[in-house]
Amino acid sequence: MTAPTLLILPGDGIGPEVMAEVRKVISWFGNRRGLAINVEEDLVGGAAYDVHGVPLSDATMERAQNADAVLLGAVGGPKYDALDFSVKPERGLLRLRKEMDLFANLRPAQCFDALADFSSLKKEVVAGLDIVIVRELTSGIYFGEPRGIITEGNERVGINTQRYTEGEIARVARSAFELARRRSNRVCSMEKANVMESGVLWRQVVTEVHDAEYPDVELSHMYADAGAMQLCRWPKQFDVIVTDNLFGDLLSDAAAMLTGSLGMLPSASLGAPMANGRPKALYEPVHGSAPDIAGQGKANPIACVLSFAMALRYSFDAGDEATRLEQAIEKVLADGARTPDLLGPEGGTPITTVQMGDAIIAALDASL
């Protein structure tokens, strides 16, 4: 059997640093667990602009389309702030999402016990938190037409249109239900059906997909504003949350901060199944390129490593190995290893990006 292909796009800022630690982890799984992955590497964002004059070349886009999965580090930085909008580094990421048709954005919010004190909520509220928000990524108010700023009479008017088709809702609902079957078999769908027709359709279609295809999964509905309140009140009541593009943007950032460490969280953007039955997929850490600490060995590689763990689970049929990697990270944190971003009020001596990667490898060795 041919080894699956992972296209690595380190990008800008701390991207290459954290990706170097992921490469060590990939090598470990190949050498110690016999997990063969064909790793390719290319440019995206500012790094691509410096070489090609565009944030993503056509050749790289083609490689991404043909890969079994793509793992991206980060894009952007002040060096590129003056560029025209059409060639800013972020446009490379947006092109990947659009042309790969990555319509389901999975953002886990997991609170490791060792970091429970970092949350602004009480420890007992967040300790052990493990939820996933599935956000529709390619439609809704960010893409609907008409849109723009027009003049009516003597004043300007900003217009954005919330628009969803049945098919767009149904496919992201299926992604959420399939994910729930791998977890605790519960989905909560969030919208604003009380005031928005698109919310009415959203609730109807999610219910129809559930009843016809996933009756074994427990489905509940909640207005998105009430959902935000419940995330702050008792987040562990949820398992998988599915919602639209706008509400998913807001709710996933709120859920991420419940863990106390936005910079440690991974994400996956999934599309339609390929010929091998697995979805097209782009994995990336939630954090940005952090140009202020780039090249200083201060970056935390855990979010990028956890993004690779998601790739193991969803693209490479290696869920047990993904769990092994997640447990290794949990052990490293429990043992007190901290990059600068993880130092609490009590302070301490931080370790470097490379040292954190080495600690994860040592914990993986100990798992055998």
Which pLDDT does position 276 carry in this prediction? 82
In CATH, what number is assigned to the domain containing residue 222?
3.40.718.10
Catalytic residue among 249, 314, 331, 341: 249
CA atoms within 13 A on the CB side of 266: 24
> Do 293 and 280 share a domain, yes or no?
yes
> Do 135 and 229 share a domain, yes or no?
yes
Peptide bond into 146 cis (omega under 30): yes
Catalytic residue among 142, 223, 236, 358: 142
Which pLDDT does position 132 carry in this prediction? 96
Q: Does residue 192 have an active-site annotation?
A: yes
The helix (H) or strand (E) run that includes residue 191 is strand 186-191
Confidence band of 363 (pLDDT split at 50, 70, 90): very high
pLDDT at 54 over 80: yes
> Do 137 and 253 share a domain, yes or no?
yes
Instruction: State both tokens at 150.
Output: 């027009």
Per-residue pLDDT, averaged over 336-361, amounts to 89
Tell whether 115 is covered by a domain.
no
pLDDT at 195 over 80: yes
> Do 208 and 231 share a domain, yes or no?
yes
DSSP string of 18-59, one letter each residue: HHHHHHHHHHHHHHHH----EEEE---THHHHHHHSSSS-HH
> Do 157 and 205 share a domain, yes or no?
yes
The mean pLDDT of the chain is: 94
| Cβ contact 57:48 at 8 Å | yes
> Do 156 and 276 share a domain, yes or no?
no
Per-residue pLDDT, averaged over 272-291, amounts to 90
> Nearest 10 degrees: CA dihedral of 262, 269, 111, 90?
-10
Q: Does residue 314 have an active-site annotation?
A: no
Q: Residue 283: give the domain boundaries.
A: 1-110+262-368
Looking at residue 170, its amino acid is A
Residues 6+ apart with CB under 8 A from 230: 222, 237, 238
DSSP string of 287-345, one letter each residue: S---TTTTTTT----HHHHHHHHHHHHHTSS-HHHHHHHHHHHHHHHHTT---GGG--T
> What three-state secondary structure class fits 259?
coil
> Do 287 and 337 share a domain, yes or no?
yes
* CA atoms of 275 and 65, how far apart (whole Å): 12
Q: Give the Cβ contact number of residue 352 at 10 Å.
A: 16
pTM confidence score: 0.91
Tell whether 120 is covered by a domain.
no
Tell whether 365 is covered by a domain.
yes
Catalytic residue among 101, 117, 130, 253: 253
Tell whether 123 is covered by a domain.
no
The helix (H) or strand (E) run that includes residue 220 is strand 218-223
Per-residue pLDDT, averaged over 72-94, amounts to 95
Residues 6+ apart with CB under 8 A from 171: 103, 104, 272
Give the tens place of pLDDT for each residue, 215-261: 999 999 999 999 999 999 999 999 999 999 999 999 998 888 888 77
- Show which of 236, 258, 280 is a domain's final residue: 258
Catalytic residue among 117, 225, 236, 358: 225
> Do 68 and 183 share a domain, yes or no?
no
Confidence band of 275 (pLDDT split at 50, 70, 90): confident
- Show which of 240, 258, 276 is a domain's final residue: 258
Specify the pairing of strand 155-161 against strand 130-136.
unpaired
Catalytic residue among 192, 280, 298, 331: 192
> Do 135 and 252 share a domain, yes or no?
yes
Which pLDDT does position 263 carry in this prediction? 72
Give the tens place of pLDDT for each residue, 134-193: 999 999 999 899 999 999 999 999 999 999 999 999 999 999 999 999 999 999 999 999
> What three-state secondary structure class fits 173?
helix
Lowest mean per-residue pLDDT among 33-47, 84-98, 214-228: 84-98
Which pLDDT does position 119 carry in this prediction? 85
Tell whether 275 is covered by a domain.
yes
Tell whether 34 is covered by a domain.
yes
| Cβ contact 135:245 at 8 Å | yes
| Cβ contact 90:68 at 8 Å | no
pLDDT at 330 over 90: yes
- Show which of 258, 279, 311 is a domain's final residue: 258
Q: Does residue 225 have an active-site annotation?
A: yes
Which pLDDT does position 39 carry in this prediction? 97
> Do 67 and 146 share a domain, yes or no?
no
> Do 306 and 358 share a domain, yes or no?
yes
Tell whether 122 is covered by a domain.
no
Which pLDDT does position 82 carry in this prediction? 95
Q: How many domains does the chain have?
A: 2
pLDDT at 344 over 80: no
Tell whether 301 is covered by a domain.
yes
> Do 235 and 354 share a domain, yes or no?
no
